[in-house]
Structure 1
Amino acid sequence: MSWTHTIAAYDLLDDPSTSGAAVAAFLAGYTADGGPRAEVETVSGAKGATDFVRITIPGVRGRTAGGDAPTLGILGRLGGLGARPEQIGFVSDGDGALTVIAAAAKLLDMARRGDLLEGDVVIATHVDPDAPTQPHDPVPFMDSAVDMAVANELEVRPEMDAILSVDTTKGNRVLNHRGFAITPTVKDGWILRVSESLLDVASRTTGVAPAVLPITTQDITPYGNGVFHVNSILQPATATDAPVVGVAITTETAVAGSATGATDLRVVESAVRFVIEVAKDHGRGLVVFHDAPEFASLVEQYGSMSRLRTLPMRS
């Protein structure tokens, strides 16, 4: 279980003075001497500043140890943890960051005790307690201090062989489910079938039938092209040709990303366990995000769809 790590991470992030340095210090408290340390980079934009935090947790057969086990990326996507001064407290949009920071703490704690994963795990998110908001239908979105391209550049790393993108996805009416859902796999502009092995992990960690978030072609195109996106959950897929799966924190009713008091720690903790179990199985080759031969066949028959990862040329 990951309850203590989830509660501690929530208490850390539900603070108007929280920062990337505070997250790095928090994670260091779970790290053995000589263990990995989080990297923090502050980036300023037209709408403010935010701290990007990234940590690599080595696996016993991971590339950092000279091995060949695959590397999993776990990204917490959000606009911000808070919308101060417009809103007081932790906003719903922060659940993605909360999930991955709690997962990082648990994985570090496991490693300190001797439970080591096979492959490397790279966890990244950003920390902003006073992000702006923006209008969105059916409920307001959180905005971000920096452009999505900047977030992708700092969070999506070339060593990631597959990526889980965790994002609050409550501001919609297409999935009426309280818990978390996964998306179909997205790879290089293709929306592929839902991974059976990820469905298996979702089933065992929740004890109920897995939920799947429906996505559209619009959702896997870059922000800035003027079309509707359900949210930023699949924006990492625009910055890599590795397979990406969204982990959506969902509700039965539409809840604004800027709403406070909307974080359900029971749901967050279940998502924490899910990403940890995926990390365990991915490094051992038990979780597969996509069928590689089938993907190759699709590309051979119909051509590349990588153009969907780019913004259109404008005259």
Structure 2
Amino acid sequence: MSIREVSEVINLIDDPDLSGAGVKKLLDSASATGCTITVDSVPYDDPHRAFTCDFIKVTIPGSNGKTHGGKRRTLGIVGRLGAQQAQPERIGMVSDSDGSIVALALALKLLRMHQAGAILQGDVIITTHVATHVSITEHQPVDFMGSPVSSATMNDHEVDENMDAILSVDTSKGNKIINHRGIAISATAKQGYILPVAPDLVSILENATGEPAFTFPVSLQDITPYENGFYHFNSIMQPHVATVAPVVGVALTAKAAVPGSVTGASYPDAILDAVRFGLETAVQFTWGRAEFFDSSEFEKLQTRYGSLKQFQTSGKK
């Protein structure tokens, strides 16, 4: 169970003095030999906001992972969000912070497991960012949190070429499409293709929640770059545009349309479900016992229909 880690991370993110350095201090307290934790601070895109966006990257090596020259695969877990807080307009953490809570709680849990000798087969790389002063953007059906930097900059810092598959975790409550309180996964996106929902991940999700698996729809626009001007459900699938690896979105959802910019709207039960799902996916994927897509069918699709990598770009203007 990861109740302790979820509680510690929520308390940290709710702190008005939240910073990348504070996150690193918590993670360092659980770090074991060979694990690395870095913070890279980047100025906001808005020159009128003299703050930094702190990118966190945690690497937990596996017993037979690439870090040690092994052959087991690496799972990437990306906590997507705009920001954890919206000071001074809001007091405390906002709903948008959920993706980072899941990512950091997973990092803390995996670090403690590694420290205790419960080491996964392959490496796990976990990334997210910390920001506390962003604007709130008007959007329908609910307002969105602003972003300290562009989605492309986030991908530069949060998507690692060593990731062989990626879980992108993001709050996705501000819509009228997923009417379920809990978590849901997307179909797999890879190099411009929207592939079937992975059966192995469905099984892991059902085990983690004790309920039938919930999924959410992904459109072609959702897997194109965020800044291209087309409609996007939200930024959950954005790591897809920066990698050849398969990407699956892990959405934290609600029955009502809940804005990411409101406080008091993070649900620990759903967060814990997402952490359990992410942890078991890390175990099974790096062990070679769970797949994100059917590789042979993907090869046949490319042979018959060609490359769709153009959907990872901004396309023709």
1:37 corresponding residue in structure 2: 36
Gap runs ≥5 in structure 2: none
> Which region of structure 1 is more displaced relative to structure 2, 18-27 or 39-48?
39-48
Whether the 8 Å CA contact 2:45–2:150 is kept in 1: the answer is: no
- Mapped partners of 2:269, 2:132: distance in 1: 22
* Code of the aligned partner of 1:264: Y
2:26 corresponding residue in structure 1: 26
Whether the 8 Å CA contact 1:24–1:37 is kept in 2: the answer is: no
2:241 corresponding residue in structure 1: 238
2:200 to 184, 197, 202: 197
| Residue 45 of structure 1: how far off its partner (Å) | 2.6
1:302 corresponding residue in structure 2: 305
2:172 to 169, 172, 195: 169
Determine whether 1:147 maps to 2:150.
yes
| Residue 144 of structure 1: how far off its partner (Å) | 0.8
Name the SS for the 1:224 alignment partner: helix
Name the SS for the 2:36 alignment partner: coil
Q: How does 1:62-81 map to 2 (within 5 A)?
A: 62-81=65-84
- Mapped partners of 2:188, 2:279: distance in 1: 18
Superposition CA RMSD, Å = 0.9
1:31-89 deviation per Cα after TM superposition (whole angstroms, max 9, x unaligned): 23x34231101111333421000010000000001100000000000000011111111
- Mapped partners of 2:184, 2:110: distance in 1: 22
| Residue 136 of structure 1: how far off its partner (Å) | 1.1
- Mapped partners of 1:72, 1:269: distance in 2: 19
Determine whether 1:2 maps to 2:19.
no
| Residue 271 of structure 1: how far off its partner (Å) | 0.5
* Code of the aligned partner of 1:24: K
| Residue 95 of structure 1: how far off its partner (Å) | 0.1
Number of corresponding residues: 313
Whether the 8 Å CA contact 1:249–1:268 is kept in 2: the answer is: yes
1:100 corresponding residue in structure 2: 103
1:179 corresponding residue in structure 2: 182
- Mapped partners of 1:198, 1:109: distance in 2: 24
Name the SS for the 1:5 alignment partner: helix
| Residue 313 of structure 1: how far off its partner (Å) | 3.5
* Code of the aligned partner of 2:35: P
- Mapped partners of 1:201, 1:263: distance in 2: 23
> Which region of structure 1 is more displaced relative to structure 2, 70-79 or 10-19?
10-19
2:138 corresponding residue in structure 1: 135
Name the SS for the 2:228 alignment partner: coil
Whether the 8 Å CA contact 1:81–1:131 is kept in 2: the answer is: no
- Mapped partners of 2:153, 2:8: distance in 1: 29
1:283 corresponding residue in structure 2: 286
1:256 corresponding residue in structure 2: 259
* Code of the aligned partner of 2:39: V
Determine whether 1:312 maps to 2:315.
yes
Q: TM-score, normalised by structure 1?
A: 0.98
Sequence identity (%): 46
* Code of the aligned partner of 1:91: V
Question: Runs of 4+ in structure 1 displaced over 3 angstroms?
Answer: none
1:293 corresponding residue in structure 2: 296
Name the SS for the 1:55 alignment partner: strand
- Mapped partners of 1:10, 1:130: distance in 2: 18
| Residue 127 of structure 1: how far off its partner (Å) | 0.4
1:58 corresponding residue in structure 2: 61
| Residue 125 of structure 1: how far off its partner (Å) | 0.1
* Code of the aligned partner of 1:56: T
2:117 corresponding residue in structure 1: 114
1:78-126 deviation per Cα after TM superposition (whole angstroms, max 9, x unaligned): 0000111111110000000000100100011111111110000000000
1:112-154 deviation per Cα after TM superposition (whole angstroms, max 9, x unaligned): 1111100000000000122222111100011111011100011
Gap runs ≥5 in structure 1: none
2:45 corresponding residue in structure 1: 46
Name the SS for the 2:167 alignment partner: strand
1:124 to 124, 127, 131: 127
